Amino acid sequence: MADLSDYLGHVLCEVTRARVMADLAAVRTAVEYAGDERGLMQRFPVPRLRLSGVEVTVPVVVKGIPAGYSETTSTDPRIFARMLVEDLGPALKGQGITIDTAEITRLILQDATLSKGRLADDLPDTLSSRIYERIRPEKKARADEKAGGDGLTSVERFKKVTSIIRGQILKALEALPRTPAGIVVDGTTAAAKEVSDVGLLTNVKMVIREEALEILLESKLEPSTEPPPQPPAKAPKIRMLVPE
């Protein structure tokens, strides 16, 4: 499965690669024609294929549509958990709270969306609340109240600790490579044949028309008054490749 944008992008890349392969074949043929010792093939036009228009219709099965704007990351959830703990551990140590990397990793892997690399807008809030539930600093808050520590109540400590956790989550998220989440589709033949809900099957039609990209290079070298070097007399010359 892949995003619809990736699926269509790969189709366009394949068409481009097909044109490149055709051009390389035309160049190889031109070299063979020009190097014909009998001189007969030099008078033949070089065959060259053009993709003036390609029409592609592919059935895809829609597997998921994101609700609103969301992002995805290619970072492994375990790496994200380690990054989070490395930033969060020292920040919570000042509050007398220790955090376990394995526990945070399990927490992230248990999340249905985060474990697949999907980053929801409310992730900093929901994840900070879940982490707070796992570390349970209420006992320390009550112990501090009895011992006359920092004087924070359980509610005040909850606000302070969750604020620290949320800030570190935002910091870890900023370091991740992210891309917008798209429509998830399955373009395999088996998925199209076995789909039970016809409403999930969509035919994507693409009409691809060829365009050329011309690259002009500006030389920074001073113009030379000497004539350009001439190739050896026996070397084949290719003046121009034109369609037949």
pLDDT in tens, 48-71: 888 888 999 988 999 888 877 788
How far from chain centre, in Å, is Cα 123? 20
pLDDT over 70 percentage in the chain: 80
pLDDT band at 88 (very low <50, low <70, confident <90, very high): confident
CB 31 within 8 A of CB 229: no
* Whole-number pLDDT of residue 244: 47
* Whole-number pLDDT of residue 94: 75
Is residue 33 scored above 90 in pLDDT?
yes
194 or 151, greater pLDDT: 194
* Whole-number pLDDT of residue 89: 83
pTM exceeding the 0.85 threshold for the entire prediction: no
End-to-end CA distance of the chain: 42
CA distance 155 to 133: 13
224 contacts: CB under 8 Å, gap ≥ 6: none
CA distance 91 to 74: 26
Instruction: Lowest mean pLDDT of 112-121, 173-182, 220-229, name the range.
Output: 220-229
Question: With the C-alpha atoms ordered 169, 174, 177, 179, is the resulting torsion angle positive or negative?
Answer: positive
**What are the extents of the domains in the chain?**
2-61+190-209, 71-180
Phi-psi region of 70 (alpha: psi -120 to 50; beta: other; left: phi over 0): beta
Q: Which value, to the nearest 10 degrees, does the dihedral of the CA atoms of residues 137, 75, 184, 53 take? A: 160
Which residues on adjacent β-strands are paired with residue 21?
A: none
Phi-psi region of 137 (alpha: psi -120 to 50; beta: other; left: phi over 0): alpha
Q: Which two structure tokens, joined as six digits, stand for 158?
A: 């909850």
Query: Which range has the top average pLDDT, 3-7, 160-164, 236-240?
Result: 3-7
Burial bucket for residue 151 (CB in 10 Å: 0-12, 13-18, 19+):
exposed
CA distance 110 to 105: 9
CA distance 118 to 112: 9
65 contacts: CB under 8 Å, gap ≥ 6: 183, 184
CB 154 within 8 A of CB 167: no
Instruction: Lowest mean pLDDT of 70-74, 137-141, 198-202, name the range.
Output: 137-141
